[in-house]
Structure 1
Amino acid sequence: MSFGVVILVHTALGRAAQVIRHWAQAGCPVVVHVDAAMRPARFERFRAGFDDISDRVLFCDRHRCEWGGWGIVAATQSGASLLLDRFPDLGHVYLASGSCVPLRPVAELGAYLAARPGTDFIESARVSQVPWTVGGLSEERFTLRFPFSWKRQRWLFDRHVALQRRLRLRRRLPSGLEPHMGSQWWCLTSATLRAILTDPQRPALDRYFARVWIPDESYFQSLARRWSARIESRSLTMCKFDFQGKPHLFYDDHLPLLRRSECFVARKIWPRAEAIYAQMEAGGHPAGAAEPAPARIDRVFAEATERRVRGRPGLYMQGRMPHEGWENGFSAAPYGVLEGFAELHEDFAAWFARASGAVVHGHLFAPEGAEFAGAGPVWRGGLSAAPALRDHDARRFLTNLIWNGRGERQVFQFGPRDSQHVSWDIAKDPNARIGVITGAWAVPLFASGLPVARLRDRAAELQKIEADHLAALRSPHAKARVHIWTLAEFLEAPAEALALMLSDIAPGRDGPAPAPPPLVPLDGFGRFLQEMRNLGMHPYLTGDIPATPPAPRPVAPRPYLVRPHA
């Protein structure tokens, strides 16, 4: 075989042994590195399992391999040195892990490399020209020192980075070194690999990279640029990463996807992916001379990332609770919010439900509890009317109600008497259709029959709450479709306002709307507002409603034209 394999083993020893045997039985010499964290007795049992093929499977010196640390590079150096010493005639060296599984016959990979004898396959790109780094460190991983473990000593890691930034400490790069980055999994020619391992500057380079963050993604990638005659900046091992920079794990149901990529090797394979390992044992999926094409399945991964990061509009679940602003739409469907209408009309919710065909709730955020349509204590999806449960996370209460009621337009009443937790949320939601009659909160106060002096402070409180809500609705950040009338404006033409909200919340309804519901009695309401003013509380949000209703203006007769008969 024209190439050998260095395999780094950490866990899943049973599957790793299966993969090692597959490479060896295909004629590839294999050097295995086993993490020094493994107990000696377990390691010896694992090594003894290859006594029957010890001429083709060798074990190198062990190093402690911790994510982001130098140990992985040291392990790779150890394995590659042993492989080149014992098998000097190899054309290429392929670096893999115990969870890397060949997808195609090994002979196809051998023929592919033999046809490209002077080509190094290693992803190698300048740091400033790629967006791969995740976690805030790109160039800084080469200019700062990282003596602490990112996983085990995260607090010390972060504090040490912050201290170096504050003191403006910078490391000097070794002479002639231009940092590059790329995938850890490469296939280098033996000539390039020997040149890297015997580089005259290697002691200084090793000391430098030992304090670089995640050096396994930069050591060989940088030094290959110094010694390689021809680089194909790509990896022959397919490894897909999610939006957090973590490798995707492949399962049996991904097998058709893996075959479509026509890649030689894939990582990371789930140890219990029986079908994938069975295909490997059967010799792999033959593809002849086909070029590996991982881009064929990039669309699937892009869609998976989109679904993982953004999800479906308005859907929130335990496995994916995004940060604010990450959600793919606050709510799942358009909905209506009516403010002040129910206070001015008798049996308004029932009338609006008949006229619009929507599910019309009462005040979902009333202090006594959610007023669901049908007046039940629980609504779809197990949403409870209990105010404590609702207000524990009012935003999710609303988005769950819209999600659970999708397919039917949801409408609810809202006002300053209600909990205001969702005030800004509905203002910023493009799905919200909001109609507001400002000052309508004064009508229930008027209907209570209590002395104005006792109602003054409550009226001032409600007006302040509504003013804050209106500021949200009129904010430049508001995306809802909003219609606002003062109470005085509404009383001049209530039918027009109702028709506008019907057309906005339930567009496309066939047939004429039923007759508007009657207004609640408002005799003496203007005098009530005037008494509020006299006590020092100015209800400006109601608009100009006079204390004494003006006398009706006489209706002038309509002029008409008499046309003579021809």
Structure 2
Amino acid sequence: MLVHTALHRAEQVARHWAASGCPVVIHADTNVPRKQFEKFRKSLADVGTIRFSRRHRCEWGTWGIVAATQSAAEQMLADFPEVRHVYLASGSCLPLRPVQELIDYLAARPQTDFIESATTSDVPWTVGGLDSERFTLRFPFAWKKQRRLFDGYVRLQRRLKRKRRMPNDIVPHMGSQWWCLTRQTLSAILQDPDRPIYDRFFRRVWIPDESYFQTLTRLYARDVQSRSLTLSKFDFQGKPHIFYDDHLQLLRRSDCFVARKIWPRADRLYEAFLTDEAHAMKRTEPNPGKIDRIFSKAVERRVRGRPGLYMHSRFPNRNWENGLTGARYTVFQGFAELFEDFEPWLNRMTDAKVHGHLFAPDRAHFAGDLHVTSGAMSDAALIRDYRPRSFLTNLMWNSRGDQQCFQFGPMDAQEIADTLALDSNARIAIVTGAWAVPLFTSNRNFAEIRAEAAKLQRIESDFLDLLRKPKAKAKATIWTMAEFVETPMEILQGITNDMGQRGPRRLSEAPKMVDLTGFGQFLQNLKNQGMHPYLMGDFPVDQPTMPAGRNRQRKPYLVKK
């Protein structure tokens, strides 16, 4: 056992091993204060099959951990000649099954070594960019305490193209530190005449405890099972998962003999597993793969999260999100300008929550003209414009389950335009040039109208360019105003069908379109004043002559089933 902290738990586990007939050799890190170590050793003095080996300083990623393992293993082989297998564990390891089951399991496999051992080209889980370079470069500095020297020396060796050769042309292997080796294999490693050569080489390997025994075992073992009998899980950053009290059932499902890393205060786990055989787990083959799916889902949840939900693992890193928003929504541009009652009409035709201009200069116009909506979101423009993207994602997350739609146009705050274009959940319907209708019906000086029209056209054109870029993910449908006014009901029918709240059905009524009499001449006047309104399409200057006695105002019409 390699221990360095939570010595009271290490004492409890050591007694459990010894009481089950297994001799124990403990190595305590020299970082443990002498007074604390002596107290720990005296607490176990009454157990005759527990020994303490020569102490070493164990810095993570350095040779000290291997040296500690060698010293403890040598003492185990020397003091207990009846031992057939040597099991390496830490002070945070916890036996999950009766120790006698492990003894019987190993007795049935007297020549088998259990050690995860794979070549560097076959190991996909190395973190930090160093796999084969662990062996070809030198690492005299500790990664945790001497990080700048560590990184600087690595860069220097790469620049000088310095490489070391493996002694005796052995093939480097890597794997979990927690192994179970036969006496024959372990003694062959420790008594090898070339051991000084191997020790000198691996002393400057990075994280040698994951490669020393894993490599040398291949030279002597008769039957290697490339797996560990200890359950240990690591996250995507290479940090070990810690097991707490609420992991009790999860650990039971693994059927493994030993697990690490156990939280020292997990009283429920220690009470459940350090018990008599009648209350322990059933005899079965260790199968950590049974819980791999749970760990994979946990890693995915931490790395990717739920679509549209931002959390500390990715915020504020841009493009780390699992989807910009949490649900589909529809953006209308130009429709509220062309129809006098578009929002009430759309609300009647669909089950959607129909907002107004959420990014209007004055405030966010929520559905129902609310000032505060789901999630206690305020309509204040100052709050919204602090983080427009977060405002949109929060609105969609808080209202998920409801179809959301809102109006957007060139007169709104445009900081959100890039997000709309990149969001795969966005369905954007645009009638280009419809922003000119409010100018047409306004009572303003024509010079002001011309300047405003030029500004709005430039803004809308920039938004259309965003939607046409290869990286854009939004589903955008675009009509010129001239195209739209020719067949408005067919287009509206397609939009409501796409929203799909009540299923495809024919519209029973139409919204009231703004009177566009004279709009063609208005556009011609803009051209005459030097402003070219090209986004409206080919809009005729002269309106068709209406028959006498007929109302010239355009009326909505019905499309019957």
Alignment of 1:170-189 (within 5 A): 170-189=163-182
Q: Deviation of residue 259 (structure 1)?
A: 1.7
Equivalent position to 1:190, from 168, 183, 189: 183
For residues 266-302 of structure 1, give each alpha carbon's deviation from its aligned partner in whole angstroms, at most 9, with x where no partner exists. Answer: 1111222222211233135545652211122222222
Q: What residue ranges of structure 2 are gaps of 5+ in the alignment?
A: 549-561
Aligned counterparts of 1:339 and 1:68: Cα–Cα separation in 2: 59
- CA RMSD in angstroms comes to 2.3
Decide whether aligned partners of structure 1 residues 211 and 382 sit closer, same or farther in structure 2, where only a CA change above 3 A counts.
Answer: farther
Contact kept in structure 2, 1:433 and 1:504, CA below 8 Å: no
Q: 1:369 to 1:13 in 2, by over 3 A?
A: farther
Amino acid at match of 2:162: L
Matches for 1:401-416 after TM superposition, within 5 Å: 401-416=395-410
8 Å Cα contact 2:273/2:280 also seen in 1:
no
Q: Which of 246, 250, 257 does residue 257 from structure 1 map onto? A: 250
Unaligned runs of 5+ in 1: 1-6, 555-566
Instruction: Give yes or no for contact 1:452–1:531 (8 Å, CA) kept in 2.
Output: no
SS at 2:169 equivalent:
coil
- Letter matched to residue 25 of structure 1: A
Which residue number corresponds to residue 297 of structure 2?
Answer: 303
Q: Does 1:314 align with 2:308?
A: yes
CA offset at residue 496 of structure 1? 2.1
Write the letter of the residue equivalent to 2:181. L
Counterpart residue identity of residue 193, structure 1: L
| 1:528 Cα offset (Å) | 2.8
Cα deviation code 1:143-202 (max 9, x no counterpart): 222233333333443333333333323222222321101111000112211221222232
Pairing 1:58–2:57 present? no
Kindly provide the amino acid, as one letter, of the partner of residue 505 in structure 1.
M
Over 3 Å counting, the alpha-carbon distance change for 1:115 and 1:440 in structure 2 is same
Matched, 1:508 2:470: no
Counterparts of 1:474-553 in structure 2, within 5 Å, are: 474-509=468-503, 512-551=506-545
TM-score by length of 1: 0.90
Code of the aligned partner of 2:76? L
Query: Aligned-pair distance for 1:121?
Result: 0.5
How do residues 67-466 of structure 1 correspond to structure 2 at under 5 angstroms? 67-283=60-276, 286=280, 289-318=283-312, 321=315, 323-466=317-460
Distance 2:142 2:344 in 1: 64
SS at match of 1:65: coil
Counterpart of 1:560 in structure 2 is: none
Checking the alignment, whether the CA contact within 8 Å between 1:238 and 1:266 is kept in structure 2 is yes
Farther off after superposition, 178-187 or 20-29: 20-29
Q: Sort the Cα spacing of 1:533 and 1:203 in 2 relative to 1 into closer, same or farther, 3 A.
A: farther
Identity score, percent: 59
- Residues 52 and 553 of structure 1: is their aligned pair in 2 closer, same or farther, counting only changes over 3 Å? farther
Structure 2 partner of 1:563: none
What CA deviation, in whole Å up to 9, does each residue of 1:380-428 have, x standing for no partner?
Answer: 1122223333233322321221121112111111122223333233333
Moved more, 109-118 or 455-464: 455-464
Q: Is the 8 A contact 1:473 1:482 kept in 2?
A: yes
SS for the counterpart of 2:88 is strand
1:320 deviates by 5.6
What secondary structure does 1:175 align onto?
helix
- Of stretches 174-183 and 502-511 in structure 1, the one that deviates more from structure 2 is 502-511
Asked whether the 8 Å contact 2:314–2:321 carries over to 1, the reply is: no
1:160/1:351 CA distance change after superposition, 3 Å: farther
Question: Partners of 1:166 and 1:417 in 2: how far apart?
Answer: 56
SS of 1:360's partner is strand
Q: Please give the secondary structure, in 2, of the residue aligned with 1:435.
A: strand
Q: How many residues are matched?
A: 547
Report if the CA contact (8 A) 1:238-1:267 is conserved: yes
Q: Secondary structure at the match of 2:455?
A: helix
Contact 1:452/1:528 (CA < 8 Å) preserved in 2?
A: no
